[in-house]
Amino acid sequence: MVQEKTFSIMPKPKARKPFWQNFLFVFLLVLLCAGIGGYIFLSMRISSLQKSNRELDAAAKAVQKQIKTSGLEREISEIARITGDFQTIFANHKFASNFLGFLRTICHKKVQIEKVELNARDFSASMACQTENLRYLGEQVLILNNNQQIKGFEVSGVSVNEKGGVNFYVSLSFDPQVIASK
Cβ atoms of 105 and 96 within 8 Å: the answer is no
- Distance CA(165)–CA(140), nearest Å, equals 15
Position 9 in a domain: no
Over the stretch 27-86, which tens digit does the pLDDT of each residue have?
999 999 999 999 999 999 999 999 999 998 998 888 888 877 777 788 888 887 777 777
Sheet holding 166-174, edge to edge: 111-119, 124-131, 166-174, 150-160
What's the pTM value of the predicted model, to 2 decimals?
0.49
Residue 3 within any structural domain of the chain: no
> For residue 40, what are the domain limits?
20-92
Residues 155 and 139 in one domain: yes
pLDDT at residue 93 in the model: 64
pLDDT in tens, 154-169: 988 988 888 888 999 9
Structural domain ending residue among the three candidates 92, 123, 146: 92
- pLDDT recorded at residue 4: 65
Our count of domains for the chain comes to 2
Q: What pLDDT, on a 0 to 100 scale, did the predictor assign at position 129? A: 92
- 112 belongs to a structural domain: yes
pLDDT at 46: 92
- pLDDT computed for residue 27 by the predictor: 92
Does a structural domain hold residue 11?
A: no
Of the three residues 69, 92, 115, the one that is the final residue of a domain is 92
**Do 105 and 168 sit in the same domain of this protein?**
yes
